[in-house]
């Protein structure tokens, strides 16, 4: 039997997807980290993670260091 996944929204493109297909991140004060069960979290879809323009937009939006942020996203995609 298929388990129904909750639907979550990607913060970059605002499209909705089942939670298990999204990458979950956490905002820790000023830094974006992989979600580890605490704090405020948000989601990104696979399309946006692969989209250089979208990633750059997020870097600006969250005032992240681009190299650090893209590395984090790559790690999360490989884990998924």
Residues in contact with Zn ion by CB under 5 A are: 10, 12-13, 45, 48
CB 49, min distance to Zn ion, A: 8
Q: Which is nearer to Zn ion, 26 or 46 (CB)?
A: 46
CB 66, min distance to Zn ion, A: 18
Q: Which is nearer to Zn ion, 21 or 28 (CB)?
A: 21
Over the chain, what HEC string results? Answer: CCCCCCEEEECCCCCEEEHHHCEEEEEECCEEEECCCCCEEEEECHHHHHCHHHHHHHHHHCCCCHHHHHHHHHHHHHHC
Q: Which is nearer to Zn ion, 12 or 73 (CB)?
A: 12
């Amino acid at each position: 039997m298929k388990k129904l996944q909750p639907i979550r929204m990607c913060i970059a493109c605002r499209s909705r997807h089942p939670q298990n297909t999204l990458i979950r991140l956490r905002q820790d004060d000023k830094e974006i980290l992989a979600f580890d069960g605490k704090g405020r979290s948000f989601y990104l879809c696979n399309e946006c993670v692969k989209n250089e323009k979208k990633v750059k937009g997020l870097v600006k939006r969250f005032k992240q260091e681009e190299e650090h942020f893209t590395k984090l996203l790559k790690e999360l995609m490989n884990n998924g």
